[in-house]
Amino acid sequence: MATRVVFVHGACVRDGSWWWRRTAELLRERGVPSVAPELPSCGEAGQPVDADGPGLPEDVAAVRRLLLADNEPTVVVAHSYGGIVTAEAAAGIGSVRHLLLVSSYLPEVGQSLSDFGDDGPAPFLDVDPASGTFGVRPELLVDTFLQDCDPEDKEQAEHHLARQSVRVTAQPVGAAAWQQVPSTYLVCAQDGGTPPGRQRDFARRAGGIVELDAGHHPFLSRPAAVRDLLLSL
């Protein structure tokens, strides 16, 4: 049983602890602490988010610093884009005992986020070439990503969106932690952002696959199920 959980949030959001809070509370009740590092490419380090701002290397460094700061056994939960960050950030760190990929990616060395997408941006994304940033279209947020969440979370989620440096989509990872560390993929069968069929394709690289009847954020909509899965790891 891991002593702590590290939650790495996805693209175009900030305040990972807000997205993670419902599962974090249930884990605390079982004596399991958790933490959600900030990602500079989403503006969480105070640096401007633009074409020249922080990208994937800075996100990797931020997560890696947190993982190295404590030698307690750790499970890393990587959500969506967080799987790209975690692939490099968790590599070669002995305290990391398991990776849980939630509607996420397991990139090979040299692959980037764009290798897992279609030719153009998804319809729920707003890409601004002038500023070098992209973000979720607020009017599509709930129907795409939060349809199974509580009304309170649906109402508050927009305030936790962020513009993100578009650089992260093309920057390749320099390591693939999932090749070294046991990994489990959580397929979100009602996800409107990453189709379940695509997730099942991505999941083939993982050591284990679990499927949950949930949308893109099961740690909000099905926190007890996510807690139980983590406790089983």
Q: Are strands 125-128 and 208-212 parallel, antiparallel or unpaired?
A: unpaired
pLDDT digits (tens, 9 = 90+) for 131-154: 999 999 999 999 999 999 999 999
Residue 24 has pLDDT above 80, yes or no: yes
pLDDT digits (tens, 9 = 90+) for 161-204: 999 999 999 999 999 999 999 999 999 999 999 999 999 999 99
Average pLDDT over residues 14-40: 97
Closest by CA to 178, choosing from 95, 119, 97, 59, is 97
Average pLDDT over residues 1-21: 92
Per-residue pLDDT band at 78 (split at 50, 70, 90)? very high
Per-residue pLDDT band at 2 (split at 50, 70, 90)? low
Strand partners, 183: 99
Per the CB < 8 A criterion, the answer to whether 35 and 23 are in contact is no
The structural domain count of the chain equals: 1
Domain span holding position 179: 4-232
Q: What is the CATH number of the domain that holds 215?
A: 3.40.50.1820
Whole-model pTM?
0.96
Q: Which two tokens stand for residue 191?
A: 């996800």
> 21 Cβ partners below 8 Å, 6+ apart?
none
DSSP-derived secondary structure for 134-155: EEE-HHHHHHHH-TTS-HHHHH
